[in-house]
Structure 1
Amino acid sequence: MLQLADALHARGLTVTVLHTRFNAPPDPGRRPEFRFVPVPDGVPATVAASLDVIDILDAMNAAMEAQESAVLRGVLESVLADEEEQPHAACIVFDANLLAVPRAAAAVGLKTLVLRTASAACFGCLMAYPMLHQKGYLPPQESKMYMPVKELPPLRKKMRNLLARAMEAVNNSSGLVINTFDALEPAELERIRSELRIPTVLAPGPLHKLSSKNTSSSSLLDKDYDCIKWLDKQPPRSVLYVSFGSLASLASNEFLEVAWGLATSGHPFLWVVRPGSVRGLDGLGFPDGFEAAVEGKGKVIRWAPQQEVLAHPAVGGFWTHNGWNSTLESISEGVPMICRPQFADQMMNTRYVEKAWGVGFEIEGELERGKIEKAIRKLMEEREGAEMRERAVELKKKVADCLKPGGSSQIAIDKLVEHILSL
């Protein structure tokens, strides 16, 4: 969202950022170009502590809707009351997961735009929601809550409430913005534009490339920039970067297998192990002998400046959970991927990385050090990995083309500004 805010601000728009405690900026003073306004979320402490994204969203929706969006409406009224000192509010851009937003916006006379931070392919699955009803998959019986959906193999029925909310929000909005670009998902975007009931569908991604700043600076974790100095000392395309994002986690036995798989691969690696990312371990808990085994060729850090890392010439591969931001950032820098998806859209992103774009492959089944070592060698040494890298470089060129003056993403962001000013 901040990446889009940066792109809009660069084109002369004033941006106010409404946020809950879950995505509060660690230091709003570092972004003086934006006005930050907190919104009470009503999520119980026990749910918030679970860190389960779906449960938190469900609780947030329930709390806001129980109040008939009154709290959020009050925040919007307060923002609008400041218009004597602030420019006129044209619309609200939100991520479609909170139905309280369009209802509160309608109550104060504001239009809405939806930003989808997942892929166009993922949104295409949301559009299949009516078909799932028609075929009797929805509403599901409790006993079938986790049953695979044949038409949508990577998805599970337990996501039904989130899917329904997202589609309702989009269909009632004045436009849809998807963080992708035309050359990456042409068929998916064509289908969305032809079937969706709203007239404005724009693809100005990768948004992090349109931003004038590294918007990963909004992370609540401090990034270790010393890792860039370490990368400077490594040969070109020799380092495997390993990061499973800000939410995904490993079991303690998986953590040990990853550690030894990296150690025995023989390749330099930069491994992000954020606090709390290993279930069952209070600290890092590296196995005996691991640090000695990787001395000089492996570096473990708590959090990385990921965009800079992926852009570094020493990085030759990325072992990722395939969140969409990470996937787009890797594509943007021409870095092939080892994929280990865990939830939400990550399975679909992995499928596209492997089957549609051919720039990576999935480690399936249980994590085992021998399997991990083999996967790393496949990506970093073997011909198959080299071919993935060649295709990744071609996608990087397409990213550069869409960002040029007159490129599809530049045109899309200009159209978005025009659309906002017309509301």
Structure 2
Amino acid sequence: MVDHLQQKPHAILVSYPLQGHVIPSIQLAIKLASSGFTITFINTQSIHHQITSKNQQNGHQEEDIFTEARRASPGLDIRYMTVSDGLPVGFDRSLNHDQFMASLLHVFSAHVEEVVLKVVGENENNVSCLIADTFFVWPGSLAKKYGLLYISFWTEPAMVFTLYYHMDLLRSNGHFGYIDAREDSIDYIPGLPRIEPKDLMSYLQTPEVSVTHQLIFKAFRDAKNADMVLCNTVQELEPQVISSIQKRVPFYAIGPLFPTLDFSSNNVAMSLWAESDCSRWLDSQEQGSVLYVSFGSYAHVRKTDLLKIANGIALSNVKFVWVMRPDIVSSDDDDPLPDEFKKGTQDRGIIIQWCNQKQVISHPAIGGFFTHCGWNSILESIWCELPMLCFPLLTDQFTNRKLVVDDWKIGVDLCVMKNLVTENEIAKNVKYLMNEESSRELRTAVKEIRKILDKAIESGGSSWGNMTNYINDLKLILEKKIKRNIDV
């Protein structure tokens, strides 16, 4: 007879199919497997295809994205499965966002349930919990149906979590969901200091309540009933917000979720585009002299803004590496930069479609990061002690910018009322950021934030302790649950 109390926890982990969510989900899977979990990781066929096809171009032939991780740590028990998200592999999800989200709700969820049923059936009572991205609306009911604990995984800052958590307050106070929404400061969200409407997530700055909003409402109703919430942030970075959330739901800040000991290498295939290697060019540049420019893997940039940024960088005379993914403007315009910009800056800059970002920004030649303020990029920039130029595009990026610019004072805002500043102001701020003397305060501040990350992940630190507490709390809940079932 199997002693279920002695078995290690088995978690089914479902990542939201965007690179900014997949990357920390992969690292969470490895961290939990390293702590004795069995993990069944569910990926979409679209993300899997994009990763594996592009990594084959990068010289990797593996079909299972965890193969290298298992080779590096043979004891990792991670099982990998893929399902359809309900759309063709080549479908442009970023340009058809509402259709994509509807498919995740109605089709992807059904395919995930098939996997859950199969895994639970094969492993009998050994599967203990479903860990799923908070943005899904169905994990809570799915976990309940199959007798699993529901662990909600939040990949963004705790501040963003609590704003979504209190969408009802924002709506009842007139700051969200109205054509003539209030424009004064918001000072009534529990645990949150005063915040301006311009710093809300983009979804909360629109007057109409769309399908996307309805899904977010449902997702957070689900999250409020989760057994636990894991968050890719650090307790000391958002102490008041996290303390307030913890009064409502078991909330564990376990970030940053990236391999800190070998930061620049990827032991898991996770790139969505073929990577260019610019290390030889960077090796020839002076320390801290190169600006890294990247706007992430999903959101689009208006062509007028892209040209303004290009002109600003040209005027600055600063050296740069610019990651220009093929669909940055749209799938129909894969070369949006004018030839005169490329010719005029070819002696001091390189333009690439994609790269290993951690490898590039950890290079000594990189001195600053022109970013869309994606949460992964912010944490990675802090780890590399790089100040930031902030140009948010979508969702949480506007709120992330507030943290970077206003709260931690490690970056410069390039927006006025959601509009990009002029090309002359871009040039001025680029030169300011890349001049070590003028940006000294930013650089000192980012070094201090890096120390907070260091301390949090070391033995005895807050993230280390929160992960330990999460595992111990989970095992305690499972033991009680198993004993109840045995008694029955």
TM-score range, shorter chain: 0.7 to 0.9
CA distance in 2, matches of 1:92, 1:285: 42
Q: Give the CA deviation at 1:229.
A: 2.4
Residue 12 of structure 1 corresponds to 36
Tell me the alpha carbon deviations over residues 279-332 of structure 1, each in whole angstroms, 9 at most, x when there is no partner: 486332432333332233201111121112222221111000001111111112
1:385 is aligned to 2:439: yes
Change (3 A) 1:282 1:146: farther
1:300 maps to amino acid: I
Residue of 47, 64, 68 corresponding to 1:23: 47
Higher deviation after alignment, 291-300 or 102-111 = 291-300
Q: Give the CA deviation at 1:70.
A: 5.0
Residue 266 of structure 2 corresponds to 214
Higher deviation after alignment, 254-263 or 206-215 = 206-215
1:58 is aligned to 2:102: yes
Higher deviation after alignment, 311-320 or 207-216 = 207-216
Q: Is the 8 A contact 1:94 1:115 kept in 2?
A: yes
Provide TM-score, normalisation by structure 2. 0.77
Map 1:10-409 to 2 at 5 A.
Answer: 10-24=34-48, 26-27=51-52, 28-32=63-67, 33=70, 34-43=78-87, 49=93, 51-63=95-107, 71-83=111-123, 88-135=126-173, 140=177, 144=179, 151=186, 153=197, 154=200, 155-157=204-206, 158=209, 160-194=213-247, 196=248, 198=249, 200-209=250-259, 214=266, 217-224=269-276, 226-279=277-330, 282-364=333-415, 365-366=419-420, 368-381=422-435, 383-409=437-463
CA distance in 2, matches of 1:250, 1:282: 12
Please provide the CA RMSD for this pair: 2.8
Change (3 A) 1:276 1:125: same
Q: Is the 8 A contact 1:240 1:270 kept in 2?
A: yes
Q: Is the 8 A contact 2:387 2:410 kept in 1?
A: yes
1:396 maps to amino acid: R
Partner of 2:79, secondary structure, is strand
Change (3 A) 1:30 1:393: same
Q: Give the CA deviation at 1:99.
A: 2.1
CA distance in 2, matches of 1:262, 1:281: 25
CA distance in 1, matches of 2:366, 2:115: 45
Partner of 1:9, secondary structure, is helix
CA distance in 1, matches of 2:367, 2:397: 21
Unaligned 5+ segments in structure 1 are none
Q: Is the 8 A contact 1:6 1:211 kept in 2?
A: no
Identity %: 30
Higher deviation after alignment, 154-163 or 342-351 = 154-163
Q: Is the 8 A contact 2:42 2:82 kept in 1?
A: yes
CA distance in 1, matches of 2:358, 2:266: 8
